[in-house]
Amino acid sequence: MVLPTIPVGPLGYNEIILEPSRGRTRIVETRPGVFQYQEPDEVKAREYADGRIVIIRNEFVRLGQAYRGLSYDFETSRLKDGFGNRAPISAIGLPARGETHKFVNVSATWRPLEGAVTRFRPAGNQEIIERVWFVNRDGSIFKQDFSYGRGEKYDRTQTGSKWRYRAAQAMGETSDPGPGSRMTTDELKKAVLRREFLVKTVE
């Protein structure tokens, strides 16, 4: 008997959503100072080429998928998940081991930059990423990645205006108020939760 062959993606399986997420993220401290994220309402399944279907529930998800379910608690100056659990701001930092994302022909790894960003000289397949986390007035959070270009050194003048623009949006500005009425740098910094430098390496 010949088993049916199901076309699958590059990972060897197709991912199926059986029960979609309700938008509630859970912060889990797997060991002291190390945090991971779950979307416990979501149920997934993996469908393999030979027809097998494996149900997956409560698996850990990447921060890029989970952060929309987190918020900032202004009273405690901590993060809060969809179940009321609280965690320090460092919980949204990229872990030291980094993250690897696989695409069809290449893979890219993000890792925290060690040492001073001004002294780092990226190779031709590397780029410096400045990741800034912002908090809106309603407590919701979002991140913005600023790239300096593959093989290019850090140049703060490239992102200064973009950083200020995104911070002003988080503080409630919908348009440029004009000279003399713009928020000061100190005021804009109130919208910044965390800022870190990463190195993206494409292999």
Question: Would you say 113 and 182 are in contact if contact means Cβ atoms under 8 Å apart?
Answer: no
The last residue of one of the domains, among 82, 112, 130, is: 82
Q: Please determine, for residue 142, whether its predicted confidence score (pLDDT) is greater than 60.
A: yes
Residue 2: what pLDDT? Answer: 54
Q: What is the pLDDT of residues 1-45, one digit of tens each?
A: 455 677 877 778 888 888 888 878 999 998 888 899 998 888 889
In the chain, % of residues over pLDDT 90 = 42
Domain membership flag for residue 6? no
Full residue range of the structural domain in which residue 102 is found = 93-203
- Extract the tokens encoding 190: 């109130």
- Extract the tokens encoding 112: 């925290």
Is residue 147 domain-shared with residue 196, that is, in the same domain? yes
Q: How many whole angstroms separate alpha carbon 55 and alpha carbon 95?
A: 28
Question: Would you say 19 and 41 are in contact if contact means Cβ atoms under 8 Å apart?
Answer: yes
Give the 3-state secondary structure of residue 37: strand
One-letter amino acid identity for 76? T
Q: Which of 37-41, 64-68, 112-116 has the lowest mean pLDDT?
A: 64-68
Q: pTM (2 decimals)?
A: 0.79
Domain membership flag for residue 160? yes
55 forms bridges with which residues in the sheet? 45
Is residue 195 domain-shared with residue 103, that is, in the same domain? yes
Residue 3: what pLDDT? Answer: 57
Residue 173: what pLDDT? Answer: 83
Residue 1: what pLDDT? Answer: 47
Q: Which DSSP category does 166 fall into?
A: H
Which H, E and C letters describe 134-154, residue by residue?
EECCCCEEEEEEEECCCCCCC
**Mean pLDDT computed over 69-80:** 93
Provide the mean pLDDT of the chain: 87
**Mean pLDDT computed over 78-85:** 92
Q: Please determine, for residue 193, whether its predicted confidence score (pLDDT) is greater than 60.
A: yes
Domain membership flag for residue 164? yes
Is residue 28 domain-shared with residue 65, that is, in the same domain? yes
Residue 50: what pLDDT? Answer: 85
Question: Would you say 34 and 69 are in contact if contact means Cβ atoms under 8 Å apart?
Answer: no
Q: Could you please report the per-residue DSSP string of 70-126?
A: -EEETTTTEEE-TTS-EE-GGGGSPPTT-EEEE-SS-EEEEEEPPS-GGG----TTE
Neighbouring residues of 103: CB distance < 8 A, sequence distance ≥ 6: none
Q: How many whole angstroms separate alpha carbon 94 and alpha carbon 77?
A: 19
Is residue 124 domain-shared with residue 198, that is, in the same domain? yes
